[in-house]
Amino acid sequence: MGLPPLVMDHVTKRFGAFTAVNDLSLEVPEGAIIGFLGPNGAGKSTSLRMALGVMQPDSGAVSLFGKPPEIATLKRVGFLPEERGLYKKMTTRATIEHFARLKGLSARDARARAIELLDMSGLGEFKATRISKLSKGMAQKVQILSTLAHRPDFLILDEPFSGLDPVNQQILEDLIRAEHDRGATILFSTHVMEHAERLCDRIVMMARGRKVFDGTLDNAFNALGQGARIAVSEGFDLAAALAPKGFEAQRAPDKGLGDAWRISLRPGTGAQDALRAAIEAGAPIVGFAPEEARLRDVFVSLVGEADAAALLEATPAGEAV
């Protein structure tokens, strides 16, 4: 194993009185796919910009492949920023070629690589098309290809799925897996937790500038524990009703029939036990579901209802959390 592609050691960044990133420590080992999760404003992009040396931390240290971020080291990194941007009057081929050359490829290699990537991604017929003439999704594809053109050892993707339709999201997921299979280490931020669940072998969760979780998916689900969801008629206090029976209930943010509650299950108890206790307590039950643990629930349990609500609000309609 070589040097870890990224190490952030107690990094803090403030903007005036606002602390965007607070004492973040993070290590990305070689060959990993790591999901960097959190709602908008959690400090993910600022952390990534510090990791790349675009921004300097107020305290703490960052190293890329064992060195402070500098242009020579960054040649091994491919970065897709959250705010997409390309030169609108350049053609797709010239765009990929330009960014590949900036990363060190010769003119001939850059051109050949641009053509190869465009053909491979189904944009071959748009080689000579200006970016301004492309759809938003196609332009985004071109930017992703520009990020991959120099075959980087380490890919940092800031919200790569944002703005893509489901088909292109799937294509991007495949692309990320292919890059990983090629040997690239991948760190990507997202607030869409399904992508992280499908792609990552490790996740880092951020909330309000702080790291709230860093571990494998198994760790995350174990941390959550088992649970069940019971919906009751509005106004009924299920927590009070179940407390004497030894179950802990919390209001869940689910929208639906009645009030939703999440019941934490102690070791040795099952969802049916919780349902039985609720019936015995005279709860006006309108819905019941054994809980299938999702990253969102892990996140809710780690950061609380307020941040979880922010996460829900920030997620565009149609995107599962």
Partner 1 sequence: MRNIYLIFRRDYLGYVKAWGFWLSLAAVPLFMLIGGAFAAFAAKSSPVRYYAVVESGSVYADAIDAEFARDDEDIGNQAREMAEGMELTDAQRDQLENSSVAPSRKFIRVPAPATAIDDLRPYLLGQQLVSGPLGDKPLFAVFIPSSDGASLEYWSDDVSVSALRWQAENAMRRLARQQALGEAGLDADFLETVDGGALKVPEHRIRTVANQTTTGSKVTMADKAPVYVSVGLAYFLWLMIFSIIQYLLMGTIEERSNKIFDTLLTSVKLEELLAGKLLAVFAVTSTMMVSWGLFALGTSLFATSQIPGGASLLSPFLSALANPAIIVPGLISFLLGYVMYGMIFMALGSLCDTIQEAQTLLSPMMILLMLPMFAIFIAFQDPGSPVIDIASWIPVFTPFLLILRMPHNPPMWEIIAQMLIMAVTAATILWLATKVYRAGAIHGAGIGDLGGVFKRLFSRKKG
Q: Verify binding: residue 96, partner 1, rule CB under 8 A.
A: no
Interface with partner 1 (CB under 8 A), residue from 49, 113, 141, 296: 49
Enclosing H/E stretch for 119: helix 107-120
Please, which residue, 149 or 321, has the CB nearer to partner 1? 149
Please, which residue, 80 or 303, has the CB nearer to partner 1? 80
* 3-state class (DSSP) for residue 124: helix
Answer yes or no: are the C-beta atoms of 3 and 65 closer than 8 Å: yes
Q: Verify binding: residue 77, partner 1, rule CB under 8 A.
A: yes
Q: Verify binding: residue 85, partner 1, rule CB under 8 A.
A: yes
Interface with partner 1 (CB under 8 A), residue from 21, 28, 52, 114: 52
Q: Verify binding: residue 146, partner 1, rule CB under 8 A.
A: yes
HSE (side-chain half, CA atoms, 13 Å) at 186 = 30
Answer yes or no: are the C-beta atoms of 53 and 75 closer than 8 Å: no
Interface with partner 1 (CB under 8 A), residue from 29, 31, 53, 290: 53
Q: Verify binding: residue 71, partner 1, rule CB under 8 A.
A: yes
Q: Verify binding: residue 79, partner 1, rule CB under 8 A.
A: yes
Q: Which residues contact 210 (CB under 8 A, 6 or more apart)?
A: 22, 23, 24, 43
What is the distance between the alpha carbons of residues 299 and 36, in angstroms, rounded to a whole number? 12
Distance of closest approach, residue 29 Cβ to partner 1, in angstroms: 21
Answer yes or no: are the C-beta atoms of 260 and 251 closer than 8 Å: yes
Q: How far apart are the first and last CA of the chain?
A: 34
What is the distance between the alpha carbons of residues 5 and 252, in angstroms, rounded to a whole number? 39
Interface with partner 1 (CB under 8 A), residue from 60, 81, 163, 215: 81
Distance of closest approach, residue 207 Cβ to partner 1, in angstroms: 23
209 alpha-carbon distance from chain centroid: 15
Place of tokens 């010769």: 106
Q: Verify binding: residue 113, partner 1, rule CB under 8 A.
A: no
Please, which residue, 99 or 299, has the CB nearer to partner 1? 99
Enclosing H/E stretch for 173: helix 166-182
Distance of closest approach, residue 196 Cβ to partner 1, in angstroms: 22
Amino acid making up residue 80: L
Interface of this chain with partner 1, residues 13 to 32, rule: CB under 8 A: 15
Number of neighbouring beta carbons within 10 Å of residue 85: 9
Instruction: Report how many residues bind partner 1 under the rule CB under 8 A.
Output: 27
Interface of this chain with partner 1, residues 179 to 198, rule: CB under 8 A: none
Distance of closest approach, residue 81 Cβ to partner 1, in angstroms: 4
What is the binding site for partner 1 (CB under 8 A)? 15, 49, 52-55, 71, 74-75, 77, 79, 81, 83-90, 98-99, 101-103, 143, 146
